[in-house]
Structure formats: structure tokens, C-alpha cells
Structure 1
Amino acid sequence: MARPPRFDTSQLLDAAVRLAAESGPSGVTMSAVAAAAGAPSGSLYHRFAGRSALLAEVWLRTVEGFQEGYFEALESSNDPRTGGRAAARHIVEWSRAHPQEAALLLYGAHDFGRDGWSDEHLRRADEGNMRVRASVAALAGALGVHGSQGLERVSLAVIDLPLSLVRRHLRAGSTLPAHAEDLAEQCTDALLAGG
């Protein structure tokens, strides 16, 4: 019977996230991840076809992990404003609980080599993006908001505004203030109520 591998995929991706948070996507190389995980390079090549696949998995695992809680929060109530507030709060709470992953998301998919991703990785990324757009449109509809300006306001309320609050502190290297979740919620609610 074959012995189980010493390094699982999660351990290797965790090491890659740490490198991306510290040095950006350029710091995520096969050899750097192997060294950070204390694993032989072969362990990485056994799990990832190359650096492009590694970068795709680092990005997608992080985004998908974030989105899971985001959609849950957004759909947590029959009241659309309550769901919108919960989604804004989730962005701040998740970023506080996962500072390395949040720092990684300061970049975009293209910074993580999206142009070289496999069809499967592109499919996963596109499905996530489409689900975000559909959820924001559904929220706008539930709020009775119509037209591109209304949709823009809802997107600002439940995505851009809380992300801006997080981004400012992450880029400054400062801790999110204790009131950040409440502030994000209050500002989101004010925008959602404005229509």
C-alpha cells in the first residue's frame, strides 16, 4: 500500500498564499512555494501542471472561499436590505479573519496569469463572476431598483464600498478598526435605502 503524501495540496496552496501576500503574484514560483512549504519541488509538479496552474489555483481557492460566505450572507434574509448589509459586513469580517488572503485579493486575476489559465480554471472564474453579477442584479430587483444607475448603486453598496474600506487599511499596512464592520453596514444600508 502506498504511503500518503507528506504534503497535501492545501499545505502547498497555503504557502503560496503567504508568498503572494508578502511579495505579490511574482513571488509565487514553483521553487519558492516548495521552499516555503518545506516540500520537494516534485510535490508541486505532481499536483500542478506548472506555475500557471499553481497561480490559478491560488487565486480561485481564495476567491471561491470568500464568495461562499458572501453569497450566504447576501441570501441570509428575505429582506434585501438585511441581506445587503450582511454581505457588506461579510467582506470586512472575512478580510479581518483572513488578512493574507485579503491582501492577495488586492490584485486581480490577470495579475495571477489569467491569460494562461486552462479552460477549466477559466470556467470556474467566469462562473463565479457571473454569479456575483446575477446576485447583485437579483438584489437590485428585490429592492425595486431598475436601470443601469440603480444597478451601479447596488454594486457600489454591496461590493465597492466595503472593499474600499478594507483596501485602504490593507494597503497602509494598518489593522482594520473595530468599528469597520458597523461602518460598512451603515454605509451600505444608506445606499440601499436611497432608491
Structure 2
Amino acid sequence: MPRPTRFTADQLLDAAVRLAVAHGPAGVTMSAVAKETGAPSGSVYHRFPNRTALLAEVWLRTVERFQDGYFAALTGADGPRPAARRAARHVVAWSRAHPEEAALLLHGPEVFGRAEWAEHHTHRAALGTERVHTAVASITTALGTTTPRDTERVSLALIDLPLSLVRRHLRAGAPLPDHAEELAEQCAEALLS
């Protein structure tokens, strides 16, 4: 009978998130993850063949977790404006609930070695990006607007402004204010009116 797994991939990736927040992506090494979890280095290499794969997985897992909730917020039978408001709120609410992961995402995938990722990792990243573009285009169309300027306005409302609000506080090491979700929603509504 095989031995139960002592250190799961998620435990190792959680340690990588903590290291990235504390020391930046450069602090995420195979040996640092092993030390952080108390796992033998072989356990880390068993799940991630090299540091590049580890960095890709920690980035992708984090962004995919964020995107799952974001896309859920964008769906609903109540129309595009409520969906847009929910999506803007989600950026802030998810960042409040997951401050370490939100801080990790502020670095961007390039700092996590995207240029070196294996094809299956770059494909996953491209799918996520395409989902975002498709969702923004769908909301833009549902709002009855179709010009490039309209698309920019929707992107600003749903992505850039809420992210800017989060970024300012996280980079300052300050908690998000209690009114941040409401402010993100109000800004989205104002831009979409």
C-alpha cells in the first residue's frame, strides 16, 4: 500500500506564495519552499520538475483562483450592469480575502519567469487572458456599445480602476478600507452610465 502524501502540491504552492510576498518572486526557490514547509527537497522536485515550473504553477494557480470568482461575478440573468458592478466588487473583495495572493499578482507573470514557461503553462495563461477579453467584450456588447473607446471604458470600469484601488493599498502595506468594494462598484457604475 502506498504511503499517504505528506506534502501536497497546494501546501508547496502556499509556501511559495508566502515566500513571494515576503521576499519577492526571487525568493521562491525549490530549497526555500522545502524549508518553508519542512518538506524534503525531493518532495518539491517530485511535484515541480524545476523552479520555472514552480513559478508558473504558483502564478497560474493564483490567477485562476481569482478569475474563477471574477467570471462567476460576470454571469447572471440580471443583466450586464449588475454583472459589471459585481465584477468590480470582486476584484476588491477577493483581494481583501486573499491579501497574500493579491500581493503576488501585483508582480505580474513576467517576474514569475513567463518567458521561460513550458508550452502547457503559457497555453493556460493565454486561455485565462482570452477569457478576460471575451468577458469584457460580452459585457461591452450587452451594454449596447461596440466602439474601441467603449471597450476601453468597460475595461477601465471592470479591471483597471478596481485593481488600482487594491494596488495602492497593498503596495503601501495598508489594509483595504471598509468602503473599498462600494467605491469600486460606484466607479464602475459611473463609467458605464
Match of 2:24 in 1: 24
Alpha-carbon separation, structure 2, partners of 1:79 and 1:6? 46
Match of 2:93 in 1: 93
Instruction: Give the SS at the match of 2:141.
Output: helix
Match of 2:114 in 1: 114
Match of 2:148 in 1: 148
Q: Does 1:179 align with 2:185?
A: no
- What letter is aligned with 2:181? E
Q: Does 1:76 align with 2:91?
A: no
Match of 1:41 in 2: 41
Alpha-carbon separation, structure 2, partners of 1:161 and 1:25? 25
Match of 1:128 in 2: 128
Alpha-carbon separation, structure 1, partners of 2:78 and 2:139? 11
Alpha-carbon separation, structure 1, partners of 2:34 and 2:76? 40
Instruction: Give the SS at the match of 1:177.
Output: coil
Match of 2:13 in 1: 13
Match of 2:105 in 1: 105
Instruction: Give the SS at the match of 1:145.
Output: coil
- What letter is aligned with 1:75? T
- What letter is aligned with 2:111? D
Instruction: Give the SS at the match of 1:5.
Output: coil
1:31-84 alpha-carbon deviations (Å, 9 max, x no partner)? 001100111100010000100000000000000000000000011343101000
Cα RMSD over matched residues?
0.7
Moved over 6 A (4+): none
TM-score (norm 2): 0.98
Give the CA deviation at 1:127. Answer: 0.3
Q: Is the 8 A contact 1:76 1:86 kept in 2?
A: no
Structure 2 unaligned regions, length at least 5: none
- What letter is aligned with 1:153? R
Alpha-carbon separation, structure 1, partners of 2:77 and 2:152? 22
- What letter is aligned with 1:37? T
Alpha-carbon separation, structure 2, partners of 1:72 and 1:109? 23
- What letter is aligned with 1:41? S
Match of 2:65 in 1: 65
Q: Is the 8 A contact 1:29 1:51 kept in 2?
A: yes
- What letter is aligned with 1:109? P
The percentage of aligned residue pairs carrying the same residue is 65
Size of the alignment, in residue pairs?
193
Match of 1:164 in 2: 164
- What letter is aligned with 1:159? I
